[in-house]
A and B are shown apart, each in its own frame.
Chain A
Amino acid sequence: MSTIADIFANYYQYFLRGTRTTIVVSLVTVFFGALIGCLIALLRLSKYKPLSGFAKLYITVIRGTPLLVQLYIVYYQLNFIHYPSGSFLGVELARVIPCIIALSINSGAYVAEVIRAGIQAVDFGQTEAALSCGMTYPQCMWNIVLPQAVKNILPAIGNEFVTMVKETSIIQYLGISDLMYNNGIVVTSTYNPLPCYYISALIYLTLNIVLGKGLNIFETRLKQSER
């Protein structure tokens, strides 16, 4: 135990710096992942075959290939883009942007499936009733189906967010100074890996507990609004 405390006392700056990067990348990824997820879910549910076909293909490919491979493909495939130089909160933009793109594309596929399942879990009778009241399909989705779907979607999407926070650890392979990258620095300077990994594990755990609590509060609020 004392080595864990010692290492943290001596190297806490590394861990905190890495944690900051992990939080920033996670938040941005969760945001864009949710955005892409909504879009893909809408395409997936579209009656227009090419659109739903594209969404299906997207989801199949993303779920069927490892995130690490996707990360490298995005990084090398998009190397023609001139990303803005400079850095944000200690992260080099030119390198972190392709990571965020890859992670968001990945997250989007999973979020899309969660949203689709949530929408399809709403009794079709609700749609029929709304349509028979003269609503257009968009009116029916917006006023009747989506408000009910949100309650199915939230718990599952919380899982997806938690997963994403953990999966950002993969960006160390592109040299982004996230928590795991800094963990590596501390390991090589102390030659004592185990305590370092315990510290990192605790930090990830804390982040996800806080995130989980936040989502719980949000869910409870939603339920109250129903009463």
Chain B
Amino acid sequence: MSGNVLFDIQGLKKNFGEVEVLKGIDLKIEKGEVVVVIGPSGSGKSTFIRCLNLLETPTDGKILFEGVDIMGKDTKANLHREKVGMVFQQFNLFNNLSVLDNITVSLKKVKKMPEAQAKEKALKLLDRVGLTDKADAYPSQLSGGQKQRIAIVRAMALDPDVMLFDEPTSALDPEMVGEVLKVIQELAEEGVTMVVVTHEMGFARKVGTRILFMDGGVIAEEGTPEQIFEHPQNERTQDFLSKVINVI
């Protein structure tokens, strides 16, 4: 087994009732990769990324994370999720907690970190995204862009081995997309392994080390940004890209 493989996904399938959303996905993700998943809506992108931290329970197949079968009976989902940060389309900041507590709550409860140390770490993270002054604010008082930047550092606080982004900018007003993408890009440049589902093609191209094009529950095509965006081989990829790029 290669020491660099983070996720080794084999024959991953997911059904919702009668509907087969994922029809067998095989993929290896290595440390340091920035895998960007693109594709039309309903193609299974979100379901796929949610399977990676077991927010969805796969119907069939195997997911090895750092060599351990995460669907195995001995694996505890919460211990797996500590190593896998997740950022949601709808931010999902904890509405009952201040910004600071949003970040410290899992440090204190999950990592059993002492209060003072957790606070120090949270403030450092907030400083990175320029939101130290919002430490005592509540989520309802923040803009979408601010919420998402905080959601990102909340996930980073646990020092995860990989970050998952599920359409992190899709619920944002256009003028706030940039500030969030900038944070994600900085993380990518630092070498954080990530899987990003996005509709921001410019971002995908710039930040991704590998692009997956999903359609109909399978990975229809994958390659470097240049291969996918300049010379797509698959007809469906060509069709999709022609619709989302240079629309006017």
A residues apposed to B, CB below 8 Å: 123, 125-126, 128-136, 139, 143-144, 147-148, 226-227
The reply to whether A227 and B158 contact each other, CB–CB distance below 8 Å, is: no
B164 CB, nearest partner CB in chain A, Å: 8
B154 touches A133 (CB 8 A): yes
What are 22 A-B pairs with beta-carbon distances under 8 A? Answer: A123-B92, A125-B90, A126-B92, A126-B94, A129-B86, A129-B88, A129-B93, A131-B55, A132-B53, A132-B55, A132-B85, A132-B86, A133-B154, A133-B155, A133-B158, A134-B111, A134-B158, A135-B106, A135-B110, A143-B105, A147-B96, A226-B96
Are the CB atoms of A136 and B78 closer together than 8 Å?
A: yes
Q: Which residues of A have CB within 8 Å of B95?
A: 126, 148
Q: CA–CA, A133 to B82, complex, Å? A: 6
Interface string of B90-134 (1 = CB under 8 A from A): 101111110000000110011100000000000000000000000
Interface core residue of B85, B95, B96 (most chain A CB under 10 Å): B96
Is B1 in the interface zone, CB < 8 Å from A? no
Chain B contacts for A131, CB-based, 8 A: 55, 77-78, 81
**How far is it, in angstroms, between the C-alpha of A71 and the C-alpha of B84 when the chains are bound?**
54
Name B148-179 residues within 8 Å CB distance of A: 151, 154-155, 158
Expressed in whole angstroms, the Cα–Cα distance for A139 and B96 within the complex equals 14
**What's the Cα separation between A132 and B79 when bound, in Å?**
10
Given A130-B94, A143-B109, A226:B155 Cβ within 8 A = no
Q: How far is the CA of A61 from the CA of B110 in the complex (A)?
A: 41
Residues of A within 8 A of B53 (CB): 132
Give residues in B with beta carbon < 8 Å to A.
Answer: 53, 55, 77-79, 81-82, 84-86, 88, 90, 92-97, 105-106, 109-111, 138, 151, 154-155, 158
The 10 closest A-B pairs by CB, nearest first: A134-B82, A129-B92, A132-B86, A133-B106, A125-B92, A134-B110, A147-B96, A134-B81, A136-B78, A148-B96
**Set of chain B residues within 8 Å of A132, measured between Cβ atoms:** 53, 55, 81, 84-86, 155
Could you tell me the distance between the alpha carbons of A148 and B138 in the complex, rounded to whole angstroms? Answer: 13
Question: What residues of A have a CB within 8 angstroms of the CB of B94 in the complex?
Answer: 126, 129-130, 143-144
B88–A128 touching, CB < 8 Å: yes
Apart from the given pairs A133-B110, A133-B158, A144-B105, 12 other A-B contacts in the complex at a CB distance below 8 Å: A128-B55, A129-B94, A130-B94, A131-B77, A131-B78, A132-B155, A133-B105, A133-B155, A143-B94, A144-B94, A226-B138, A227-B138
Q: Which B residue sits closest to A125, measured CB to CB?
A: B92
Q: Which residues of B contact A126 (CB under 8 A)?
A: 92, 94-95
CA distance A139 to B84 in the complex (A): 18
Within the assembled complex, what's the spacing in Å between the Cα atoms of A136 and B79? 9
A143 cross-chain contacts in B, Cβ below 8 A: 94, 105, 109
Q: Which residues of A contact B109 (CB under 8 A)?
A: 135, 139, 143
- Shortest CB distance A98–B (Å): 40
The distance from the CB of A182 to the nearest CB of chain B, in whole angstroms, is 46
For A144, A147, A148, the residue with the greatest tally of chain B CB atoms inside 10 Å of its CB is A144
In the assembled complex, the Cα of A227 lies from the Cα of B93 at a distance in Å of 16
A206 to chain B, nearest CB (A): 35
State the CA gap A128–B82 with chains docked (Å). Answer: 13
Q: How far is the CB of B236 from chain A (nearest CB, A)?
A: 30
Please measure, in the bound complex, the distance between the C-alpha atom of A226 and the C-alpha atom of B94, giving whole angstroms. Answer: 12
Closest residue to A144 on the B side, CB-wise? B94
Looking at the assembled complex, report how far the CB atom of A221 sits from the nearest CB atom of chain B, in whole angstroms: 15
Residues of A within 8 A of B82 (CB): 134
Task: Kindly list chain B residues whose C-beta atoms are within 8 Å of the C-beta of A227.
Answer: 138
Once the chains are docked, how many angstroms separate the CA of A147 from the CA of B155? 21
Q: What separation, in Å, do the CA atoms of A129 and B102 have in the docked complex? A: 10
A130–B81 Cα distance when bound, in Å, is 10
A135 and B88 in contact (CB under 8 A), knowing A130-B94, A144-B94, A147-B96? no
Q: Please indicate the chain A residues that have their CB under 8 angstroms from the CB of B151 in the complex.
A: 129
Tell me the bound Cα distance from A132 to B152 in angstroms: 12
* Complex Cα spacing A134 to B53, Å: 10
List of A residues within 8 angstroms of B111 by Cβ:
134
Chain B residues within an 8 Å CB radius of A134: 78-79, 81-82, 106, 110-111, 158
